[in-house]
């Protein structure tokens, strides 16, 4: 069975405060009503595709937590317990990739809920030829990557060995 990496950018959040540019204020930004609805659609889409993560990594920001809560509500078959990782808040692709590579090898489907620009840059790094990513990684977008089942690397590929070399974009959507 191939490994699957699901990158989810948090759904639409309330705008930043005009008078408080602190990290704390940014971390406290909630989803809008449209963002809540979009996050539910993301979970419904994952459930309809049979994508039930057995590992979840999420930024601790309020908007990512709310996105994940809505996804889990709509996709209750998800088996993974969320790991809230401060190091992926506004992280660069290298930090996100490092977190992905720390996933235990027994996990087959990993969901990472994070922020732009890191999520979209990582998606581009994982599959630079994927034209679907040209549309942009709007809030509530999902990119599903799968491991290739061909070649000598795929036989031994796990999260620490073989990511990102064996991943290719399977689906890119904004439900």
Q: Residues at the annotated binding site for substrate?
A: 63
Residue with tokens 């089942």: 149
Residues contributing to the annotated binding site: 63
Closest by alpha carbon to 83, among 102, 57, 59?
57
The C-alpha atoms of residue 7 and residue 24 are separated, in whole angstroms, by 24
Both structure tokens of 72: 């889990």
Label each residue of 86-124 as H, E or C.
HHHCCCCHHHHHHHHHCCCCCCCEEEEEECCCHHHHHHH
From the CA atom positions of the chain, what is the Rg in Å?
A: 15
Other Cβ atoms within 10 Å of 100 Cβ, number: 23
């Amino acid at each position: 069975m191939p490994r699957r990496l699901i990158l989810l950018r948090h759904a639409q959040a309330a705008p930043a405060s005009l008078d408080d540019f602190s990290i704390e204020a940014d971390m406290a930004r909630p989803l809008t009503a449209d963002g809540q609805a979009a996050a539910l659609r993301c979970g419904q889409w994952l459930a309809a595709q049979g994508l039930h993560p057995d590992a979840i990594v999420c930024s601790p920001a309020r908007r990512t937590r709310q996105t994940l809560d809505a996804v889990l509500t709509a996709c209750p078959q998800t088996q993974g317990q969320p790991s809230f990782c401060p190091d992926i808040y506004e992280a660069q692709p290298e930090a996100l990739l490092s977190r992905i590579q720390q996933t235990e090898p027994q996990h087959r489907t990993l969901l990472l809920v994070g922020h732009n620009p890191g999520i979209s840059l990582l998606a581009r790094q994982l599959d630079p030829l994927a034209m679907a990513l040209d549309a942009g990684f709007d809030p509530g977008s999902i990119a599903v990557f799968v491991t290739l089942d061909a070649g000598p690397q795929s036989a031994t590929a796990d999260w620490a060995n073989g990511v990102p070399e064996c991943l290719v974009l399977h689906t890119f959507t904004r439900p």
